[in-house]
Structure 1
C-alpha cells in the first residue's frame, strides 16, 4: 500500500492527461521495490483555482501516504523516484513537489466491502 494522491493545476490537463501522471507515480513506486503493483492505490485531484505568490502557477504535488516502518532513506529514495518520474514530462513553468507521510500502523483501519 501506499495511497498516492496527485494534486495538480487543472490547466495541465491540456498538456498531460491525468492518467499519465498516475502511471508515472505508479511506475516510480514499483521502481522503489517497496511495493508491488497490487499494493498501490492512486487518485488524482485537479484544482480549478490555485495561486502561488499572487499569481496562477501550474503545479503538481504528490502525497504518498504509507504505513510506518520504512527508513528515512527508503522514504527519501521513494520521494526522489516520484519527483524524477514527474519531471520526465516536457512541462515548462511548473512546480513539482512530493511529500511522504507515514500513517501509524496501530491506528490505521481498513475494511473492503464486496458485493455478494
Structure 2
C-alpha cells in the first residue's frame, strides 16, 4: 500500500520510457512523507486505442489508491505533486491528471493480514 496505477497513451513512450514514469510517480509519492518508500507500488497500463474528449490526444492519468485516514489537503497535495512531476517530464502531453481513492481499513485484506 499505496498503489499507483498509471493509465497512458502508448505513444508517450517516444518521449520517456516506462521506467522513468514509474520512478517519477514513486518519487512524487515519497516526497509527500505519507508513505514508507518500501510500500509504494507503481504500475503502468498503456493504450494503443483510446479517445480523449472525442479526440486522439496523448494522456496520462494516475489512479492513486491509499489507505483511509489522510486529510483532504494531504490527498490534494499527493495528486498535485504527481501531476507536477509528470507535467515537467511531459510538457507536450495535453491531458495529465490524478485522483485519490481510499481503501477502507475495515474491508481491506492482503497476505500479511491472513
Give the TM-score category using the shorter length: over 0.9
Tell me the SS of whatever aligns to 1:8.
strand
Task: Tell which deviates more after alignment, 49-58 or 1-10.
Answer: 49-58
Query: 2:103 is matched with which residue?
Result: 103
> By percentage of residues, which structure has more helix?
2
**Normalization by structure 1: what TM-score?**
0.91
SS in 1 for 2:65: strand
Deviation at 1:93, TM superposition (A): 4.1
- The equivalent residue for 1:51 is 51
5+ residue gaps in structure 1? none
RMSD, aligned α-carbons:
1.2
Q: Does 1:87 align with 2:87?
A: yes
Count residues with an aligned counterpart. 112
- State the partner residue of 2:72: 72
Q: 1:15 touches 1:91 (CA, 8 Å); kept in 2?
A: no
2:36 — aligned with what? Answer: 36
- Structure 2: 5+ residue runs without aligned partners? none
- TM-score, scaled relative to structure 2: 0.93
**Distance in 2 between residues matched to 1:16 and 1:73, nearest whole Å:** 30
Change (3 A) 1:83 1:90: closer
Q: Aligned partners of 1:72, 1:39: CA distance in 2, in Å?
A: 21
Q: Deviations over 1:50-91 (max 9, x none)?
A: 112322110000000011011111111111111111111143
